[in-house]
Amino acid sequence: MISMIQIDLKKIDWSFKNDTITISEKDTRFGTEYLVISPKGNGKVFKFSHSTGPEFDKNTKWIYTSEDNIQLAVCNDANMVKHAAKEYLSAKLRR
């Protein structure tokens, strides 16, 4: 199932230098594919490519790529990562 992201120009960073759209994980649900809809109604599908680091690192970005090599970077949020790491550790220790 493709998650849909409606672009809110106040919440994204678009870098024309390296053709990358950057959003926070707070602004979307996790998905392996995203359909990004621009304010003009144009859509583009992005498929998961790779991450830039470990899951619980606040600096990790989850990189998705479109057919025409535009990138979507979903950035970890420091507070969400801290909470997720704590919950993961608690679950592992309960066994």
Task: Determine the pLDDT at residue 11.
Answer: 65
Task: Give the pLDDT score at 21.
Answer: 87
Phi, psi of 76 (to 5 degrees): -60, 145
CA angle 77, 79, 81 (to 5 degrees): 65
- The whole-number pLDDT of residue 66 equals 94
Q: What is the pTM of this model?
A: 0.81
**How far is the C-alpha of 56 from the C-alpha of 51, rounded, in Å?**
11
> How far is the C-alpha of 74 from the C-alpha of 4, rounded, in Å?
13
Would you give per-residue pLDDT tens digits along the chain (95 residues)?
Answer: 677 776 665 666 666 677 888 889 988 888 889 888 777 777 889 999 999 999 999 999 999 999 999 999 999 999 999 999 999 999 999 85
**Structure confidence at residue 94 (pLDDT):** 86
Interatomic CA distance for residues 36 and 48, integer angstroms = 13
- Where helices occur in the chain by DSSP H, the ranges are 78-94
d(CA 80, CA 57): 10
